[in-house]
Amino acid sequence: MEDMLFYDRLQFAFTITFHYIFPQLTMGLSLMIVYFKGKFLKTKIEKYNNAAKFFMKIFAINFTMGVVTGIPMEFQFGTNWAKFSELTGGIIGQTLAMEGMFSFFLESSFLALFIFGEKLMGQKLHFLTGFLVFLGSWASGWFILATNAWMQHPVGYEILDNGKYVLENFSALFTNPWLLPAFLHNQMASVVTSAFVMASIGAFYILRDKHSEYGHLFLKTGVIFGLISSVLVAFPTGDWNAKNVAKYQPGTFAAMEGIFETEEAGAEIVLIGQPNMVEKKLDNKIAVPNILSFLTYQEWHRQIPGMDQFKKEDLPDNIPALYYSYHIMVGLGTIFIAVMALALFFLWRKKLYTIKSLLWTIMFLVPFPYIANITGWYTAELGRQPYLVYGLLRTSDGVSPTVSSGNTLFTLLGFVALYLLLGLLFLILVGKTINEGPTPKPH
């Protein structure tokens, strides 16, 4: 049973990690494409229109890969997690169905119109199709996070005699106090990824002295969007999320922050430290006293429960992984703010385009927003364990009893091989698109 649960969790973790490489770029990029198209309508400067169409090509490649890698996750609900689907399908099935019926079809339909319909529709309608692609991609995030928010903080449900969960209040799904901060935090994080991708392409063009006009535009736009979104990820959206965890999942909050024992005089914030699960403490700790209490409750000496206040079986089952995921996310977010603030300063001084060391830094930082986004998701999902639905349904009670660990391991190896090929194809297609550049080819 333990092997089966381990491989079921490992397979879902792998498939969702690979899948989320793509939506985090499309959601943020859709906003920036609308920005470029809007600038073109306002100024009639053709480079903004070319920029919008160039990044929509990259969007389309990401969107296609997201669809291909998203389908296996849906199937896993019925194969590896059949009991979970049977018990909670009456609730999560509604938000997932709305994501497919409304968001996916809105996004995919108008994506095709944006790519192929500019001459037919005219510029204003072309802008509208881009806006609807943006609306569809963000609505998709809203419905997916509504599903996740219910699993993190279940509301508006009723448990039937047969153990199934059904909705007692439909509107509660979308007024869940967990949903809005999680959605805003997630969307701003996706803009961070997109901004770094755009800025890195701009830096690449400048360093190669190729498509320099667009290199300047992409770098400037990426830096401005990157700094704004990086700050918003930290505050207020990140702060709001952390306060939600402290309120609704206090054991998770203690594990995230590495609070093994409750401190009477207020909780310190840990800058560096390694969880020691044998001695129940942080090794090599560097911390600032009382800051965590102030950030969480605006009171310097407010007590925050440590892990010693909770039953072991109700605490996250992989505390080191949760702790490191959270601190990697926060640490990278701090670096993003610093780098983008420095870049904006030199942009203001009209020196950014000539500082090669900073251009190289921006270009090579591009993988790290992906890592920050994924570790952010790990923080949310590891924090909810050992529950699938927090406080109600344990993970061990949601697996399929008829799917063996051997079958799951075999299919996982198949996914790994297939996704390596898909990843290689994705890099080739995006690399080719970037190499061709946004300058229109003469007809």
Instruction: Let me know if residue 398 belongs to a domain.
Output: no
- For position 292, what pLDDT does the model report? 94
Instruction: Let me know if residue 64 belongs to a domain.
Output: no
The pair of structure tokens assigned to 292 is 């965590």
* Residue 290 phi, psi dihedral angles, 5° rounding: 70, -5
Chunk the chain into consecutive blocks of 10 residues (it has 443) and report each block's average pLDDT, rounded to whole numbers.
85 94 96 97 96 97 93 87 94 91 86 91 95 96 96 96 93 96 98 98 96 96 98 97 96 96 88 94 93 92 94 94 97 98 97 97 97 97 96 94 90 94 96 93 65
Instruction: Let me know if residue 351 belongs to a domain.
Output: yes
- For position 87, what pLDDT does the model report? 96
Please spell the DSSP secondary structure of 46-83, one letter per residue: HHHHHHHHHHHHHHHHHHHHHHHHHHHHHHHHHTTTHH
Domain range holding 290?
181-378
Q: Identify the CA nearest to 190 among candidates 7, 25, 426.
A: 25
What is the separation of C-alpha 92 from the centre of its chain, rounded to a whole number of angstroms?
19
Instruction: Let me know if residue 107 belongs to a domain.
Output: no
Instruction: Let me know if residue 267 belongs to a domain.
Output: yes
Instruction: Let me know if residue 432 belongs to a domain.
Output: no
Separation between Cα atoms, residue 242 and residue 236, nearest integer Å: 10
- For position 60, what pLDDT does the model report? 96
pTM of the model: 0.96
Instruction: Let me know if residue 113 belongs to a domain.
Output: no
- What's the N-to-C CA distance of the chain in angstroms? 63
- For position 71, what pLDDT does the model report? 87
- For position 1, what pLDDT does the model report? 56
Separation between Cα atoms, residue 423 and residue 65, nearest integer Å: 9
By CB atoms closer than 10 A (0-12, 13-18, 19+), residue 364 is: exposed
Residue recorded with tokens 């430290």: 273
Separation between Cα atoms, residue 346 and residue 324, nearest integer Å: 33
In this structure, how many other beta carbons lie within 10 angstroms of the beta carbon of residue 288?
Answer: 10
- For position 442, what pLDDT does the model report? 66
- For position 74, what pLDDT does the model report? 82
The helix/strand/coil state of 330 is helix
- For position 376, what pLDDT does the model report? 97
- For position 383, what pLDDT does the model report? 97
Q: How many domains does the chain have?
A: 1
Q: Identify the CA nearest to 217 among candidates 25, 432, 49.
A: 49
In this structure, how many other beta carbons lie within 10 angstroms of the beta carbon of residue 96?
Answer: 17
Instruction: Let me know if residue 260 belongs to a domain.
Output: yes
